[in-house]
Amino acid sequence: MTDSNLFYPHRSAPLLIVISGPSGVGKDTVIQRMKERQLPIHFVVTATTRPPRLDETHGVDYFFVSHDEFAEMIEQDELLEYAIVYNDYKGIPKEQVRQALQSGKDVIMRIDVQGAGTIRELAPAALLIFLTTQDEDELVRRLRERKTETPEGLKLRIATARQELKRINEFDYVVVNPDDQLDETVDTIMAIIKAEHHRLHPRKVML
């Protein structure tokens, strides 16, 4: 029996869920494992102007677009939120989120901490989950071990991550994602979502 068969004993209104946190905490890895479990959830694909990494696929991991294409999306008011993240733009396609919510599915967005604040303003009933490491030293080590940045880029990511950690109180839940405990991290997030569907006063997302 799959997780989707066990996940909800009953259904309330669909949730708009934000998984956020500093660079290096494992947001992409957590999202990928959740997809592998075939949960009844829509995972939003973010648009970005940064180039794809070797293991990333257009339309699956991100929509990789040019700066001109992204500017057009802004002008046409097609984005729920957007921001400059490490010198590149990232944004959430508005219509994708609306259609997913209308289908009755929970919607999960992977957004940077700045963007999560914007979503909170646009949709106060959104469920915000802050993903983090056991401590700051572990976060810095992960960023260094990725070896995907120039020394200047790495310094910027570390400095930004330290500032983002200070905004943890803006979120509803915090989930620690330790090394080699990915499934436990996903289990915790699933438990939070399941509990939210049992609220006596459900969240009602309006976009």
| Secondary structure (3-state) at 149 | coil
pTM of the model: 0.85
Judge whether residue 97 has pLDDT over 90. yes
Tens of pLDDT, residues 33-49: 999 998 889 999 999 99
What DSSP line would sit under 1-65, residue for residue? Answer: --HHHHS-SS--SPPEEEEE--TTS-HHHHHHHHHHTT-SEEEPPEEESSPPPTT--BTTTEEE-
Return the pLDDT at 153: 83
| Secondary structure (3-state) at 207 | coil
Tens of pLDDT, residues 121-141: 999 999 999 999 999 889 889
CB-CB contact of 171 with 130 (8 Å): yes
| Secondary structure (3-state) at 171 | coil
| Phi and psi at residue 94, to the nearest 5° | -65, -50
Find tokens 């056991």 and name the residue.
134
Find tokens 């990494």 and name the residue.
53
| Secondary structure (3-state) at 197 | coil
- What mean pLDDT do residues 147-172 have? 89
Q: How many CA atoms lie within 13 A of 137 on its CB side?
A: 0
Return the pLDDT at 30: 96
Judge whether residue 4 has pLDDT over 70. no
Mean pLDDT of the chain: 89
Judge whether residue 152 has pLDDT over 50. yes
Match domain 3-44+105-196 to its CATH number in 3.40.630.30, 3.40.47.10, 2.40.30.110, 3.40.50.300: 3.40.50.300
| Count of other CB atoms within 10 angstroms of residue 151 | 7
CB-CB contact of 41 with 106 (8 Å): yes
Return the pLDDT at 5: 46
Return the pLDDT at 91: 93
State what percent of residues in the chain have pLDDT above 70: 95
pLDDT category of residue 10 using cuts at 50, 70 and 90: low
Judge whether residue 104 has pLDDT over 50. yes
For residues 16 and 2, give the distance between their C-alpha atoms in angstroms, rounded to a whole number.
22
Return the pLDDT at 3: 52
